[in-house]
Amino acid sequence: MEIEKRIAELTQIINQANYDYYVLDNPQITDQEFDKYLKELEELENKYPEYAKENSPTKRVGGEVIDKFQKITHKIPMLSLPDVFSEEELYDFDKRVKKEGLIPEYVCELKIDGLSGSFHYENGSLTTGATRGDGIIGEDITHNVKTIKSLPLLLKDKISIEVRGEIYMGKKTLAELNKKRSQANEPLLQNCRNAAAGSIRQLDSAIAASRNLDTWIYHLPNPEDYQIKTQYDSLMFMKSLGFKVNPESKLVKDIDGVINYIKEAQEKRKSLAYDIDGVVIKVNDLGMQKKLGFTAKYPKWAVAYKFPAEEVLTKLKDIIFTVGRTGQITPNAVLEPVIVAGSTIRRATLHNEENVLKKGLKIGDIVAIRKAGDVIPEVIEAKVERRTGEEKDFVMITTCPMCHTKLVKKEGNVDYFCLNPLCPKRNIESLIHFVSRDAMNIEGMGDEIVEELYNLGFIKDIPDIYSLKDKVDKIIEFDGYGEKKLQNMIESIENSKNNSLEKLIFGLGINGIGSKTAKLLASFYGNMDTLMSKTKEELATIKDIGSTLALNIYNFFQENTDLIKKLKEIGLNMEYLGIKQKFSDFITGKKFVITGTIEGITREEIKEYIESFGGYTSESVSKKTDVVIVGANPGSKYSKALELNIPIWDENKIKEVMNK
């Protein structure tokens, strides 16, 4: 008993010390004292493991290693916010709110440049941490989240709660980390956000622990459960529970107050210890928020104001030409490396000849470039006043830099093309596109590997990718291809056969078809045969598909019937799996309990559906249950699920999952 009491006492002291140090930035004990308590706790826990608590502060150092990230369904979707870039757009937002008959106050918060996370507590104890993922399904990062010292393991009140906020890396931490990486000759991390995202997606929590991640908590998804009526009160409530809530957040009376706050934030930006990329503006009153509601993607009660892109000067060292998968030739700026908005820029696309001539760029010019957040870097203009006379004029090439075929400019088009179907660069780019993440998502086939496998003669076209499995013995003889690496690659190639149709359509690289249009086509026609049977006129009837796109699609399938036939024979899925497939990933291996009646679907049908995706069903709810499906008139299983805080799917959700 004495031991148990001492363990509880030490836990309390250490948690409080972490809170004072990491949340309040106001340490009350010395590092030596802290280390002494921690050591004593570690020793006691080692000696008496029966008293060691799941959420002991000794877990902060990491140690847990997982073999893969489990998926987690967010009970309430994690939405992102619509961006605005000007005062005008802010006034428009204010007008939209007022149009609903509301006179809003706003909470202004700094927009922290990290990644959002969801944190669950049961009886005051941290149980799960998850990434946002696609907003509906995220990844379980509990093992890493427990190493974030500003995130409480135990709350000041023993309540069950979910909070959301930003996981980030401070500027100083990034600088120190990069210093170490540079000494070890490792590639540098480009900016705070990438560094935080990379650190939280580590399988080994000791690595995440060493990265000194931090949090700012800003969102309470279930405020009504705690009788909270405003966003500002929810911030104060979360703060009172022990969360790190940003002190710069401010309640302002009206949109002019917002604009003032933004100006101040912009001035403060450089002196802050962490990166921000804008200001988030939220309607304060939660009743008003409810009235405003949501669009399909965003809440209507908040916007994110993004700071204008940072501009930097550098030297345009050269202009080189690349060949795209459609044969399109693109001039690219080779720049003296320079850091813009947190990442090093060496190259920037110059799009086409006309753009270079319009901007009057000369090789050797000092140019202004900019990059806003995720946006690709852009060369804005040449600083003509800085010319020395040594600069060289830009001259467009006339033959393909890869196969030397004469380039062609199509009528009415500004771009030049290499139309040689055998141009190696075109083929390589097509293959790179086919395996890329938004297309077939084949892991282990990075750009360089694809290029090498092409040059070594192992893959000439798309079907060849699927016969790589018969060539493993030969590939392994080349440098850099370990058995495990190849095995994973082949496995990923085989898995890609089951992808939903839109991934294949996008992967084929039809001119002008991005992943969004591919999804539109797949969901509209349902399968490849139907899509291929459509005339250009029929295709053009789909909203968002103009006559040029329709023609591209039509021509592509006319010219590539053999390719599609081959891919079918190889066993590639030609159906749209849509929402079904997305949820099937989640169902596999999970345990479900059904209670109550769902209109229009029998319990047997639900069971069969779950089992068809490798899930299990059982009759009773326990801690091991992953999801409880709750219909009308549910039994005691429902209350048990609530008690154990097990995710619940209601009638709408299961119908959505089953496409009913």
Q: Which residues are known catalytic residues?
A: 111
Among 27, 77, 223, 299, binds ligand IVH (CB under 6 A): 299
Which residues in the 67-86 window bind ligand IVH by CB under 6 A? 79-81
* DSSP notation for 3-27: HHHHHHHHHHHHHHHHIIIIISS--
- Please, what is the Cα angle at 320 between 315 and 326, to 5 degrees? 140
Sorted by sequence, the CB contacts under 8 Å of residue 222 that are 6+ apart come out as 76, 161, 162
Among 45, 166, 353, 651, binds ligand IVH (CB under 6 A): 166
Cβ 7 to ligand IVH shortest distance, Å: 37
- Please count the other Cβ atoms lying within 10 Å of the Cβ belonging to residue 278: 25
Cβ 581 to ligand IVH shortest distance, Å: 25
- According to DSSP, the residues that pair with 339 across neighbouring strands are 344
Which residues in the 260-289 window bind ligand IVH by CB under 6 A? 280
Sorted by sequence, the CB contacts under 8 Å of residue 518 that are 6+ apart come out as 502, 503, 505, 506
* # chain residues binding ligand IVH, by CB under 6 A: 14
- Please count the other Cβ atoms lying within 10 Å of the Cβ belonging to residue 415: 18
Q: Which residue is nearest to ligand IVH (CB)?
A: 116
Cβ 164 to ligand IVH shortest distance, Å: 7
* DSSP notation for 160-172: -EEEEEEEE--HH
Two structure tokens written together for 437: 């993440």
Phi-psi region of 480 (alpha: psi -120 to 50; beta: other; left: phi over 0): left
- Tell me the residue type at 51: Y
Q: State the angle between helix axes of 192-200 and 171-183 in degrees (0 to 180), rounded to the nearest 10.
A: 80
Strands (E), 114-189: 115-122, 125-131, 137-139, 161-168
User: Is residue 304 a contact point for ligand IVH (CB under 6 A)?
Assistant: yes
* DSSP notation for 519-562: HHHHHHH-BHHHHHT--HHHHHTSTT--HHHHHHHHHHHHHTHH
Among 66, 59, 65, 33, residue whose Cα is nearest residue 45: 59
Cβ 632 to ligand IVH shortest distance, Å: 30
Interface region with ligand IVH, contact rule CB under 6 A, candidates 104-112, 419-427, 517-525, 545-553: 104-112
User: Is residue 112 a contact point for ligand IVH (CB under 6 A)?
Assistant: yes
User: Is residue 290 a contact point for ligand IVH (CB under 6 A)?
Assistant: no
Interface region with ligand IVH, contact rule CB under 6 A, candidates 39-47, 109-117, 192-200, 398-406: 109-117
User: Is residue 126 a contact point for ligand IVH (CB under 6 A)?
Assistant: no
Cβ 642 to ligand IVH shortest distance, Å: 24
Two structure tokens written together for 625: 């249950």
Among 116, 131, 142, 617, binds ligand IVH (CB under 6 A): 116
- According to DSSP, the residues that pair with 382 across neighbouring strands are 367
Sorted by sequence, the CB contacts under 8 Å of residue 264 that are 6+ apart come out as none
Cβ proximity to ligand IVH: between 80 and 602 the closer is 80
Cβ 281 to ligand IVH shortest distance, Å: 9
| 440 backbone dihedrals φ, ψ, rounded to 5° | -80, -5
User: Is residue 522 a contact point for ligand IVH (CB under 6 A)?
Assistant: no
Cβ proximity to ligand IVH: between 277 and 365 the closer is 277
Give the contact letters, 196-235, x = binds to ligand IVH (CB under 6 A), - = no. Answer: ----------------------xx----------------
User: Is residue 28 a contact point for ligand IVH (CB under 6 A)?
Assistant: no
Which residues in the 390-409 window bind ligand IVH by CB under 6 A? none
Cβ proximity to ligand IVH: between 92 and 248 the closer is 248
Cβ 185 to ligand IVH shortest distance, Å: 33
Interface region with ligand IVH, contact rule CB under 6 A, candidates 49-57, 107-115, 227-235, 564-572: 107-115
User: Is residue 305 a contact point for ligand IVH (CB under 6 A)?
Assistant: no
Cβ 80 to ligand IVH shortest distance, Å: 4
Among 71, 74, 111, 503, binds ligand IVH (CB under 6 A): 111
Query: Interface residues with ligand IVH (CB under 6 A)?
Result: 79-81, 109, 111-112, 116, 166, 218-219, 280, 299, 302, 304
